[in-house]
Structure 1
């Protein structure tokens, strides 16, 4: 008998925080911050989170976890502390398959990512609220926000024409692309992946696939989508000015030096992905695979159309990998350009200030990695890679000895964190959470949270924003307790804290917030 649970159509689209009955097996605690979620036909799902964090996993999240674990070809599934219901697979999960590729555990925002820019500017320089307002204005003149916004809405943005757009989605952050956009070429060495290749591990496959896509009806606006390069989207995407607080211990100080983090200095944290271009690619893949399943009569995992898949080596899998890589290359260059524009904005207000990229890392991507001594596709959906020092995959990188930076956004009032993986991360498929994780769905948050209370919290913490009213569905109370999330990661032996980031101002989608 299978424990696959078909989503109730009445509850399938409910957001986190709106519960309904879960009839599957319960979690079994194995430690302070570890547990197992059994299934009846496979090894159990590994769960990371303290008891109070595990209580935030809503029923649909658990259903999606079990359904994903029992899907064809899946050998491992991990739930991180930030887990909540997502698109087919939970947000905050890691899904491993040596034989199949799954769009659901990547999602519609291909390579949604985090990046951190360190500036040589002391925190005291931005104490004055008028100075911060100047910086907000300078950044917003260069980096648009909002779902449909592009370069035309920011007077000092970079122009990207069709030719350069085609080049960058094929090459990623190549030297030529970076030079054309005014991005320091050495920043490519501070990326988890500065470029992605096609299914046959060549850029030629991407170039060929792109030419095919450009003849499709839904890609007629390709040039317009390239105009979104260097911009934030809506929802939970943001730019945030920070003050770095390095941990008060020898390891934190040593690792911070390797990372290029400077205690008491200003930094800038960004969260965004592949924008409209990635959404078109992902949506097209879901529709195409769902049509194939219908035509061929293939049973869907748990009857969930969001868990479609393709066997590796098939034409469908090749097309998905190519499309994902095109979207991922856009996301990479998008982040690097945002950081270049943010640095330019700081230099407008503080002439002569210098900055360097600390790291750029994804949390919505499938990567080919070695798992249990064999190649497999590791799908991280709202999950961040966490590789400790000494691991073979970090050879010839600046982080070979230390492990790479892990960038974890919390919320503007409680701060964010930079962590580094510990040896125990092997238990989680070398992954941790991608942030705090939602505890209230967007509609639920709008119903139960008070705008005045949200705005006064920002005022009391002296955190400014470009929004007249901070988006209530993005309020700190809509997310899990960030300190408890971090305690889960540390107690489970997955990663250690290197630094905290204290927010001084936030750039969000002002169009939605001010409606």
Structure 2
């Protein structure tokens, strides 16, 4: 039984020996979760080594643990609460192009066509589908998977080196802090011929979106009218009334293969040693972080995360080049790149713990110790929250109250309808006309019904939950003008 603590905070007791689950959401949002979501949260909280679990307003049933949850452990790592799309993320590119320059749908079509020549969409698609993309051979793929957004990698791909400072994490190392350990593991994988060919084919997906809920959107920025919040947005580099570009994607087939390999390896370890799956659910396999199994998982997660980071940065560079095909001389700067499928070591309750965010976003306020020395030390970092094209997306900034949620917020609106139900219940012509009525065009002949705005929760209610819980405030709202998507199954 939920115990309400405030207008948007409740707790779910799980027993005297465990702290309760923190539930973020207004009454309508909490009612949207459903019993299976709560049961997955309880299973996660009672799993070995777990110290805290948080449900965010976008929570819904996931892989072992709910999507939209935070799972904290001082000692254990869990692949399920990271997911199969390691470091699925958001990024935002701000241009100096006034919104009126893309008012004409014909102009937007030209930009869409230019982007399509550089950045493919769809599961399995890569460089060969984009004639103006970058060529990524085995050597460069190996380097970026082990180094992340290093100066050398960025130079080879023609990405501004300053963009690395606008990343939640520009690179990830092995648990021992070494790149060499990652290189040794990837080299070992590559010595198996069947794996080598597959790995090299996945490298060539760099600079692509994938399918499902991944997208690219051209946005018009509307800064908050609150003087403090508006000043924060301007300090970040946001430009009121000008065009920005929002991207959602992850580590593509490279990260998926690493994640699935780890699920298989951990399940096999459980079976060979007789370990019991938490709540009998194989999707909640785990390892102690210091164990050989835990170290291998963290290495593979780091390599998937490195790929995702460089994938986003390259997409943003290719998008900027595409805008320049239509508007020569247009300038663009990366505002931020932030993940929502990752496990990071962070100070929680006075000690470093593994914070697993599955469909959840980091939310560090001004002055947080992990922001010291970054561009965001005095403001807090941007939180990029997508919703759907019709209802817009949000950029928020964390407040000190985010400590109640392990310095995390939701990663978007969250699903209201499953993909199957959305396809059955939503009418295709209504979906397409709804977007046109809101002056939004896309690259799709028929917009995917399972990705339609009505498949998602009420975004304003989701944002109200975050504000009323004291976690974050809105700095800017983004209004979509065109969307790049694909109807293929989701990667995450």
Q: TM-score, normalised by structure 1?
A: 0.94
Q: Does 1:214 align with 2:190?
A: yes
Q: Are 1:419 and 1:497, in contact at CA under 8 Å, matched by a contact in 2?
A: yes
Correspondences of 1:40-55 after superposition (within 5 Å): 40=15, 41-55=17-31
Deviations 1:173-228 (A, max 9, x none): 00110010010000000000000000211111111111112134445311110110
Of residues 41, 65, 79 in structure 2, which corresponds to 1:65?
41
Give structure 2 stretches of 5+ with no counterpart.
none
Cα distance in 2 for partners of 1:282, 1:221 equals 14
Deviations 1:7-43 (A, max 9, x none): xxxxxxxxxxxxxxxxxxx222211111111112411
Structure 1 match to 2:241 = 264
Q: Are 2:215 and 2:249, in contact at CA under 8 Å, matched by a contact in 1?
A: yes
Q: Are 1:149 and 1:228, in contact at CA under 8 Å, matched by a contact in 2?
A: yes
Cα distance in 2 for partners of 1:49, 1:355 equals 36
Structure 2 match to 1:32 = 7
Structure 2 match to 1:107 = 83
**Alpha carbons of 1:102 and 1:378: their partners in 2 closer, same or farther (altered >3 Å)?**
same
Q: Does 1:317 align with 2:294?
A: yes
Q: Does 1:152 align with 2:121?
A: no
Aligned CA-pair RMSD:
1.1
Please give the secondary structure, in 1, of the residue aligned with 2:354: strand
Cα distance in 2 for partners of 1:109, 1:419 equals 24
Task: Give, in angstroms, the shift of residue 294 of structure 1.
Answer: 0.6
**Alpha carbons of 1:512 and 1:386: their partners in 2 closer, same or farther (altered >3 Å)?**
closer
Cα distance in 1 for partners of 2:40, 2:188 equals 34
Deviations 1:375-404 (A, max 9, x none): 111000000000000111101111100000
Please give the secondary structure, in 2, of the residue aligned with 1:370: strand
Please give the secondary structure, in 1, of the residue aligned with 2:294: helix
Please give the secondary structure, in 1, of the residue aligned with 2:14: coil
Of residues 247, 262, 266 in structure 2, which corresponds to 1:289?
266
Aligned residues: 488
Structure 1 match to 2:322 = 345
Cα distance in 1 for partners of 2:191, 2:285 equals 25
Cα distance in 2 for partners of 1:390, 1:376 equals 19
Correspondences of 1:103-182 after superposition (within 5 Å): 103-182=79-158
Give structure 1 stretches of 5+ with no counterpart.
1-25
Structure 2 match to 1:8 = none
Structure 2 match to 1:503 = 480
Cα distance in 1 for partners of 2:488, 2:65 equals 30
Task: Give, in angstroms, the shift of residue 305 of structure 1.
Answer: 0.2
Structure 2 match to 1:23 = none
Cα distance in 1 for partners of 2:27, 2:196 equals 46
Q: Does 1:448 align with 2:425?
A: yes
Structure 1 stretch displaced more, 218-227 or 122-131: 218-227
Task: Give, in angstroms, the shift of residue 512 of structure 1.
Answer: 7.5
Task: Give, in angstroms, the shift of residue 257 of structure 1.
Answer: 1.2
Cα distance in 1 for partners of 2:360, 2:488 equals 28
Task: Give, in angstroms, the shift of residue 60 of structure 1.
Answer: 1.5
Cα distance in 2 for partners of 1:287, 1:265 equals 47
Structure 2 match to 1:300 = 277
Moved runs in structure 1, 4+ residues, more than 2 A?
Answer: 215-220, 510-513
Q: TM-score, normalised by structure 2?
A: 0.98
Cα distance in 1 for partners of 2:43, 2:196 equals 33
Task: Give, in angstroms, the shift of residue 453 of structure 1.
Answer: 1.0
Correspondences of 1:88-99 after superposition (within 5 Å): 88-99=64-75
Task: Give, in angstroms, the shift of residue 510 of structure 1.
Answer: 5.3
